[in-house]
Amino acid sequence: MTACPKTPYTEKGGFVWVVSLHMTVIVNSKTALVVPPAVRRLARLKTGDRIEFKVSGRVITILPKPRIAEDEYTPAERRAIDRGIAQSEKQYAAGKSYGPFETAAEAIASLNGNLRRRRADAKRSKPPSR
């Protein structure tokens, strides 16, 4: 691994060390092409990242693909989000919603009123202390 001198990093106007790594792997007909761990670390590739291969003649360029919105969540996270949305839609359909409000002051007054009602309900349902 060789470190190149500081090179302008135009995105933020600062400087960054550019690290160059040269490795050779042998292509085998029985196994997939493997990106060595050192290369993955330097490229900051993580499990589940998508990569794109571009071929021009005998030159192969590997580029990370940015995550798209539909891949932003894992399937389990997406199911939990969808459950929450479905529950919210049921509550809205049942009339359990507030607003719309013309001003922020109206929204705050509504929140304070709801809070007072909840506190009063909690006091009524609380068993008497001995």
Provide the residue ranges of all domains of the chain, joining segments of one domain with +. 2-69, 73-123
Residues belonging to the chain: 130
Place of tokens 């190149």: 4
Res 104 pLDDT > 50: yes
60 near 67, Cβ under 8 Å?
no
Q: How confident is the model at residue 87 (pLDDT cuts 50, 70, 90)?
A: very high
Question: Residue 2 has what pLDDT?
Answer: 45
Question: Residue 126 has what pLDDT?
Answer: 75
Residue 56 burial by Cβ neighbours in a 10 Å radius (0-12, 13-18, 19+):
exposed
The pLDDT > 90 percentage for the chain reads 24
